């Protein structure tokens, strides 16, 4: 159904990982545009259809879910299908080097994304992916996947980012950004003290469309605000390491006592 599924209460994360090397030896001009279309069709467009099918299957309570192709190992977590909030993620890799070679303005080689209500979601611009804002799908590449998941390294932090991002996509007619990490920078820079949570942009303002330029992340990680954040995060590193070691022992079968990771109370919980 997907390459990875993660369940956190009523939130379900579906991951689809696709690597395409067709852009590694591209030709300039029209040949390159053809190569880009071919890469996008395989790495992203086909996966958009797969994502839709996986969501339909998951929401149908009559469909059973298994961990193996032989349907011998039932999925161990009860998913609240009717009220499930499904976050759909495509990881499309293999375009970074070609993106950097295509234009000197590209900083990181990340894909640019636009979410809009434009029915014509095809894009003729290389390394620019247009998606419909009614059926939200998150698209990462190799580099910004690592950035986002290393910065938001707990499920609650990651979920808060996804919720804030989906809120702003639903709120605006168009959201465009040059790289996912630039969107993350805006998320970090907008913190609501009263609610103690981040937003992509300040809540007390209305927007029809938003364009986030390239380079915001590069500038943000040089800032004092980012340095203060990393310093404040140090207190949690011990707990991160403890959870990682305990979980590894549980999955390897070397955890003493109750090693049922799903159904019974354990050290992990």
- Residue 223's pLDDT is what? 94
Q: Of 68-72, 75-79, 203-207, which gets the smallest average pLDDT?
A: 203-207
Q: Of 54-63, 186-195, 196-205, which gets the smallest average pLDDT?
A: 196-205
Between CA 122 and CA 199 the distance in angstroms is 29
**Model confidence pLDDT, tens digit, residues 109-145:** 899 999 998 755 556 788 999 999 999 999 999 889 9
148/268: higher pLDDT:
148
Check whether 262 has a pLDDT greater than 70.
no
The CA-based angle 120-126-130, given to 5 degrees, is 30
Between CA 148 and CA 242 the distance in angstroms is 22
- Residue 106's pLDDT is what? 82
What is the pTM assigned to this prediction? Answer: 0.86
In 41-154, which residue ranges form alpha helices assigned H by DSSP? 46-59, 96-102, 142-151
Tell how far CA 119 is from the center of its chain.
23
Most confident of 14-18, 24-28, 36-40, 80-84: 14-18
- Residue 266's pLDDT is what? 53
C-alpha closest to that of 165 among 116, 191, 198, 143? 198
Percent of the chain with pLDDT over 70: 90
C-alpha closest to that of 94 among 151, 46, 34, 35? 35
- Residue 27's pLDDT is what? 55
**Model confidence pLDDT, tens digit, residues 217-260:** 999 999 998 998 888 888 777 777 887 888 788 777 777 765 56
pLDDT-derived band at 22, boundaries 50, 70, 90: confident
- Residue 142's pLDDT is what? 85
Longest dimension (CA), the chain: 64
Mean pLDDT score, 52-80? 91
**Model confidence pLDDT, tens digit, residues 159-176:** 999 999 999 999 899 999
- Residue 32's pLDDT is what? 78
Check whether 267 has a pLDDT greater than 80.
no
C-alpha closest to that of 179 among 203, 147, 152? 147
Mean pLDDT score, 41-48? 93
The whole-chain average pLDDT of the chain stands at: 86
Q: Where do the structural domains in the chain lie, given as residue ranges?
A: 4-173
Which two structure tokens, joined as six digits, stand for 234? 């140090």
């Amino acid at each position: 159904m997907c390459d990875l599924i993660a369940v956190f209460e009523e939130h379900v994360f579906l991951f689809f990982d696709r690597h395409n090397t067709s852009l590694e030896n591209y030709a300039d001009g029209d040949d390159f545009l053809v190569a880009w279309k071919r890469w996008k069709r395989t790495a992203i467009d086909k996966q958009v259809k797969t994502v839709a099918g996986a969501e339909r299957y998951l929401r149908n309570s009559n469909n059973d879910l298994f961990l193996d192709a032989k349907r011998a190992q039932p999925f161990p977590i009860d998913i609240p299908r009717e009220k499930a909030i499904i976050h759909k993620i495509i990881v499309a890799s293999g375009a970074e080097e070609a993106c950097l070679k295509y234009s000197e303005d590209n900083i990181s080689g990340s894909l640019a994304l636009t979410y809009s209500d434009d029915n014509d979601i095809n894009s003729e611009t290389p390394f620019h992916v247009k998606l419909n804002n009614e059926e939200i799908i998150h698209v990462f590449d190799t580099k910004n996947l690592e950035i986002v998941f290393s910065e938001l390294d707990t499920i609650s932090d990651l979920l808060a980012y996804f919720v804030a991002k989906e809120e702003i996509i639903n709120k605006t007619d168009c959201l465009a950004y040059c790289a996912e990490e630039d969107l993350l920078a805006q998320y970090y820079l907008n913190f609501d003290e009263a609610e103690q949570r981040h937003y992509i942009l300040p809540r007390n303002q209305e927007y029809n469309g938003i364009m986030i330029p390239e380079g915001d992340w590069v500038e943000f990680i040089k800032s004092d605000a980012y340095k203060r954040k990393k310093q404040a995060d140090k207190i949690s590193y011990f707990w991160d390491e403890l959870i990682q070691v305990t979980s590894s022992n549980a999955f390897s079968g070397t955890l003493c006592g109750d090693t049922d990771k799903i159904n019974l109370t354990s050290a992990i919980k």
